[in-house]
Structure 1
Amino acid sequence: MNTAIVDALTSVLPPESVIINPDSMTGFLHDEAAWAPYGAPAAVVRPADTLEVQQVVKACIETGTALVPRGAGTGLSGGANAIDGCVIISFERMAKVLEIDHANHIARVQPGMVGDEFRAVLAEEGLWYGPDPASSPWSTIGGNVGTNAGGMCCVKYGVTADWVRELEVVTGTGEIVRLGRRTPKGVAGYDLRGLMVGSEGTLGVVTEIVVRVENLPPEPITVAGFFDSLIDAGNAVAAIRGQGIRPSALELVDRYCLQAVDEWKNMGLSADAEVVLIGRTDSPGAQGDAEAGAMLRCFDNAGATLSMRSSDAQEGDALYAARRLAYPALERLGPVLTEDICVPFTKVAEVLQECADIGERHGVLVASIAHAGDGNLHPLLITPPGDDEAEERAKAAFDEIIAAAIAAGGTVTGEHGIGLLKLDGLRQEVSPTVAEMYRAVKRALDPHGILNPGKAIPS
């Protein structure tokens, strides 16, 4: 055990803030990234406020101990995984909405606040927050900031960075700073707020988040198109975006995912189709009707075997829920290695098919879900539990899919982050010069090398 850090923590924090019993730390060891390595921490801390976070950072600096920030552990790249002898910092006790400013349309929230709980608080005030990852019933706002999460609404409303105005951060030197500003515009100095969002806890520890909020949008209209091939569905996506339609969501779910959801929740949604596109528009009145109709025409022109508009909000919500439940439903079948590639709209059909072909070549089941409207594809590689040989084949397929995304002019991650699983992919995507720029920023902001080392950027 790293006794020096344990002694340092227990001398400055109340007993309820520090966990050192190995059995009690089990639930904090890793996120949901299949097969990403993790170690044994020296301690888990659960600070109650920013000053306690500062004490933790200072203790880690003094003892040379790695510090790994953690949200709800729903990440899919290994970014929250423990390092041997490290301190895990969990924000479960910092989970409040601190301020809602109606006049300026902003809210201040602590990092441990769960996304859907935050949205529920805002809804009571007639307000709304855009980023909507499929994990929002479980993931935290702080975790979403760490990976710059997107989700199902980002095709129209953008990703987390588009909503974050200001951050309170404990730096890698143990100081408390505020980055960004509350005003809608501001270009004074470097955008350190933007640099911090998506940095996966490697540049600072976020303790407060100020986000912009908007008025609740109208009740959405949901449309669905059923297709016999990934190619046809991908062509429908390209057609919708090519016509300048901006749906509030455009999600893809394949047959494997729908079947898994049905077997788990018995929702009666399985269809005689290879893939379903679920589109939404929350534009008001006649504009919403026109956008829904235009999406249906794109479905039909691309070869949909069936296209439909929800008859009421309940039916639309059921289709949307199926998309949100797809990943946990597939997890029940065996370990899931999750891709997070993002490609140009015009390449969606081609790359979706290539992912399926790669799975077939390696003898690995590849199920597909996607934020198709912005080209963010999530091929899911599923293997039988305990099958080591299948695991190796899945890892090989994973690497080929990353290469295919880069070859198509895309990126290795759209919202899950690099963590541990995508380090090799990032090395392929960026030049050595750019990688050294990343390392230079890391050295400047984390001079002691304690903040989530070994994650997010190539060594």
Structure 2
Amino acid sequence: MDPDVLASISHDDAEWAPVGKALAALRATSTQEVSAAVRVAAELGIPVVARGAGTGLSGGANAVDGCLVIDLSPMNQILEIDVENMICVVQPGVVNDDLKAAVARHGLWYPPDPASAPWSTIGGNVSTNAGGLCCLKYGVTRDYVLGLEVVVGGPAGEYGTVTHIGHRTTKGVAGYDLTGLFVGSEGTLGIVTEITLRLRPARREAPRTVVGAFPSLVKAGDAVAAVTRDGLLPTALELLDRACLQAVEDWKHLGLEADAEALLLAQIDTPGESGQAEATATAEAFEGAGALWAAVSTDEQEAEALFAARRLAYPALERLSPVLTEDVCVPRSQVPAMLAAVVEIAERHGVSIATIAHAGDGNLHPLILTPPNDDAARVAAQAAFEEILARAIAVGGTVSGEHGIGLLKREGLHRELPPPVLAMQVALKQTLDPLGLFNPGKAI
């Protein structure tokens, strides 16, 4: 393989995560090819790193020295859509948005929707247990994975063994939940080559959008806490600060006006008059928490532009400078305090932080911006990154809500988890991958 091509598929989008020099790569087109490659790699003692579209933000798909990179993106077929049972079977290289469009033609819906949905693959979503804008109400990837075809080693047999875990039924508790274990394992236990997903009926009408403008991030956080206290459950409750909005507008010219320090965007998909009542109550919660203004949008084009801005925020900022992306998740009652901590940490370290968030479920994505080729700024950014992790743990949160541990969060993970829990995770890895071949050095 051309060295430049090999290098291009040897890393994901994580800023400053170390990247090793891969020995070779395979663009896999079938489970059989993956199985044969893993078998040969095991015989030769070569580590194996699987990847999809490379949209990850934690270094989980980065090559290690002397490894075989297995690119699963060519395995991009939707193998089955079972309308009667509301399930589908897909290969790992299927792009999230492509799956959504395919099942929509059958009156069905696949809810998990990371901001990278136009580019990220289902296999990568499974690897990190991706969430997204709708997960507040509808859950994350793990909630939709019924079964997996996996290429494994260890107690299952020789490396390269292909087996199925999970089921196709709505319920199933036969044995340990190995499917749940593999979802979010970041390719460290085996390689997923086929995924069985549950689906939902398509929504009956377009969601209502509620927009609130706030004088500060903390006030926006207060509004998130108010929505929770009032027992409201929007489909999505997203936050963007002024820096994110301006970056998107400068790039895409969507006609956005950043007239506040932060915006909250809520979507309500309850149909009929009940949905209208929920939207009105959400707007009132925003106002009660100190919004400059709040309104229920009746303009579908405006609503679409606002949520497009939320999805485009990261690539818009990435165009301007290197971006070190956080992914902490805190209890919803702690969102105001965590946002205040982000502001304070940025000021103390002298770094620029733009913030987006799945605010409704406490999943915050502070984006630490640094000038290119500025070592002092890089050191300050990394110090701020680690301090944000520590602060999230201190308020009862976690170092990763949906991006995974990869390489960037391993120290944070070891600070978060008790030693007995870490020991159990290491024991699982050693049992299922005794040779330590699958994505070594990641996740734990």
TM-score by length of 2: 0.98
Contact kept? 1:33, 1:78, Cα under 8 Å: yes
Q: How far did residue 92 of structure 1 move?
A: 1.9
Q: How far did residue 268 of structure 1 move?
A: 2.0
Partner of 1:262 in structure 2?
249
Partner of 2:193 in structure 1?
207
Whole-angstrom CA distance in 1 between matches of 2:231 and 2:195:
33
Q: Do structure 1's residue 97 and structure 2's residue 97 form an aligned pair?
A: no
Whole-angstrom CA distance in 2 between matches of 1:402 and 1:147:
18
The amino acid of 1:188's aligned partner reads A
Q: Secondary structure at the match of 1:145?
A: helix
Could you tell me which of 35, 43, 68 is aligned with 2:24? 43
The amino acid of 2:15's aligned partner reads A
Identity rate, percent: 59
Q: Do structure 1's residue 408 and structure 2's residue 395 form an aligned pair?
A: yes
Partner of 1:174 in structure 2?
160
Q: Deviations over 1:49-102 (max 9, x none)?
A: 111110011011001111001010000000000111101111121001000001
Q: How far did residue 270 of structure 1 move?
A: 2.7
Q: Do structure 1's residue 311 and structure 2's residue 292 form an aligned pair?
A: no
Contact kept? 1:255, 1:270, Cα under 8 Å: no
Q: How far did residue 447 of structure 1 move?
A: 1.2
The amino acid of 1:313's aligned partner reads E
Whole-angstrom CA distance in 1 between matches of 2:224 and 2:52:
33
Contact kept? 2:148, 2:193, Cα under 8 Å: yes
Whole-angstrom CA distance in 2 between matches of 1:245 and 1:274:
24
The amino acid of 1:356's aligned partner reads V
Q: How far did residue 184 of structure 1 move?
A: 1.0
Could you tell me which of 121, 124, 131 is aligned with 1:150? 131
Could you tell me which of 284, 300, 308 is aligned with 2:287? 300
The amino acid of 2:254's aligned partner reads M
Whole-angstrom CA distance in 1 between matches of 2:75 and 2:63:
20
Partner of 1:184 in structure 2?
170
For structure 1, which segment, 303-312 or 192-201, has the greater mean C-alpha deviation from structure 2 after superposition?
A: 303-312
Could you tell me which of 240, 248, 262 is aligned with 2:235? 248
Partner of 2:277 in structure 1?
290
TM-score by length of 1: 0.94
Contact kept? 2:73, 2:121, Cα under 8 Å: no
Q: How far did residue 23 of structure 1 move?
A: 2.1
Q: How far did residue 312 of structure 1 move?
A: 2.6
Q: How far did residue 431 of structure 1 move?
A: 1.3
Q: Secondary structure at the match of 1:399?
A: helix
Whole-angstrom CA distance in 2 between matches of 1:399 and 1:411:
13
In structure 1, stretches of 5+ residues that fail to align are 1-19
Q: Secondary structure at the match of 2:249?
A: helix
Give structure 1 regions of 4+ aligned residues with deviation exceeding 6 angstroms. Answer: none
Could you tell me which of 377, 380, 394 is aligned with 2:381? 394
In structure 2, stretches of 5+ residues that fail to align are 154-158
The amino acid of 1:364's aligned partner reads V
Partner of 1:425 in structure 2?
412
The amino acid of 2:93's aligned partner reads G
Q: How far did residue 433 of structure 1 move?
A: 1.4
The amino acid of 1:191's aligned partner reads D
Q: Do structure 1's residue 379 and structure 2's residue 389 form an aligned pair?
A: no
The amino acid of 1:241's aligned partner reads T
Contact kept? 1:250, 1:372, Cα under 8 Å: yes
Q: Secondary structure at the match of 1:341?
A: coil
Q: Deviations over 1:263-310 (max 9, x none)?
A: 111112132210000000111111211111111000100111011222
The amino acid of 1:133's aligned partner reads P
Whole-angstrom CA distance in 2 between matches of 1:90 and 1:29:
9
The amino acid of 1:197's aligned partner reads V
Partner of 1:358 in structure 2?
345
The amino acid of 1:204's aligned partner reads G
The amino acid of 1:75's aligned partner reads G
Whole-angstrom CA distance in 2 between matches of 1:315 and 1:142:
32
Whole-angstrom CA distance in 2 between matches of 1:224 and 1:39:
44
Partner of 1:12 in structure 2?
none
Q: How far did residue 436 of structure 1 move?
A: 1.0
Q: How far did residue 314 of structure 1 move?
A: 1.6
Partner of 2:156 in structure 1?
none
Contact kept? 1:251, 1:279, Cα under 8 Å: yes
Contact kept? 1:155, 1:247, Cα under 8 Å: yes
Q: Do structure 1's residue 107 and structure 2's residue 91 form an aligned pair?
A: no
The amino acid of 1:421's aligned partner reads L
Could you tell me which of 421, 429, 436 is aligned with 1:442? 429
Could you tell me which of 196, 200, 219 is aligned with 2:182? 196
Partner of 1:53 in structure 2?
34
Q: Secondary structure at the match of 2:243?
A: helix
Number of equivalences: 438
The amino acid of 2:30's aligned partner reads D
Q: How far did residue 21 of structure 1 move?
A: 2.4
For structure 1, which segment, 20-29 or 380-389, has the greater mean C-alpha deviation from structure 2 after superposition?
A: 20-29
Whole-angstrom CA distance in 2 between matches of 1:145 and 1:412:
18
Q: Deviations over 1:160-189 (max 9, x none)?
A: 000000100001332111111111111110
Whole-angstrom CA distance in 1 between matches of 2:9 and 2:223:
42
Q: Secondary structure at the match of 1:207?
A: strand
The amino acid of 1:65's aligned partner reads I
